Amino acid sequence: MKKILITGINSYIGTSFEKWVNKWPDKYKVESIDVRTDSWRELSFKGYDVILHVAAIVHVKEKNTNEYYKVNRDLALDIAKKAKCEGVKQFIFLSTMGVYGIETGYITKDTEPKPITPYAKSKYEAEKLLNELDNECFKVAILRPPIVYGENCKGNYPKLASLAKKLPVFPDLKNQRSMIYIDNLSEFIRLLIDYEIKGLFFPQNKDYVSVTELVTYIAKIHGKEIKTTKLFNLAINLGFYFSKTLKKIFGSFVYDKEMPGGPGTNINGIEFIYETCSFEESVYRTEYIME
């Protein structure tokens, strides 16, 4: 049995992962701890096989940017050092696609990270420090997932879902986005744990997603039809130069599917099949539960 400790209480990814592996009660024992205070330093990590570190802050007031580094970098490193010292075999760290410092583009294995925001910078600095701890006895796995969506998710997905239920018309743009359904991400993490794998990974759904297709499909699930039009396309494309919001919604931003951990790729000779359901089914499940 694998004994897993999630460092971070009430994290979306952490709680979703725990729910996912609870389907195999004879294979995994999962516990979570709160690391918002220093009380975790008095706890023993001995006996745990894996630390899944999901504690992080995404938004703080600009004048408190040091908090990003205190939590996203320093806390992660301190927990990893304690874990290594006390015999934990694997440390899994959730980073971000934001380390590339762009809103649109095609990311390959040769694309160099150039983080811009304090959040992305703190995550990237944590990656580098954690890799210094990596060895065969303490395996560090770092994930840079794209947009994560699913039941009770936060961020851009519920905003798009809200628009899908209200708007009669939506721009017809053929953009592409890398995304990953939360159960697919949880399954990917489970496989990393099963095979005790280390490295840098880029898990994503099998298919790229067009925001137009996503919005129209969400509307269809709710018995609504949205008309699509190309009339706004020129204005939106021009708006990319002035608006980060437009880039985030309508720009193309994808990982090359051949990057480590991509759909159907092999890791250490092992075929990683972690897509638990099709894109259409994952959106249906998300909308059904979010209702």
Each residue of 256-270: pLDDT tens digit?
999 999 998 899 888
Please determine, for residue 61, whether its predicted confidence score (pLDDT) is greater than 70. Answer: no
Task: Give the rounded distance of the alpha carbon of 142 from its chain centre.
Answer: 11
Domain with CATH 3.90.25 in the chain: 150-179+205-291
Q: What is the pLDDT of residue 241?
A: 74
Arithmetic mean of pLDDT, 192-216: 96
pTM of the shown model = 0.95
Please determine, for residue 82, whether its predicted confidence score (pLDDT) is greater than 80. Answer: yes
Length of the chain as a residue count: 291
User: How far is the CA of 236 from the CAs of 7, 45, 157, 171, 249, in angstroms?
Assistant: 41, 51, 19, 9, 10
Query: Contact at 8 Å (CB) between 177 and 209?
Result: yes
Q: Which residue has the tokens 């050092």?
A: 81
Q: Rg of the chain's alpha carbons, rounded to an integer?
A: 20
Which tokens belong to 108? Answer: 């390959």
Domain with CATH 3.40.50.720 in the chain: 1-144
Q: How much is the mean pLDDT over the chain?
A: 93
Give domain 1-144's CATH architecture: 3-Layer(aba) Sandwich (3.40)
- Give CATH for domain 150-179+205-291: 3.90.25
Q: Quote the CA–CA distance of 141 and 80 in Å, as a whole number.
A: 12
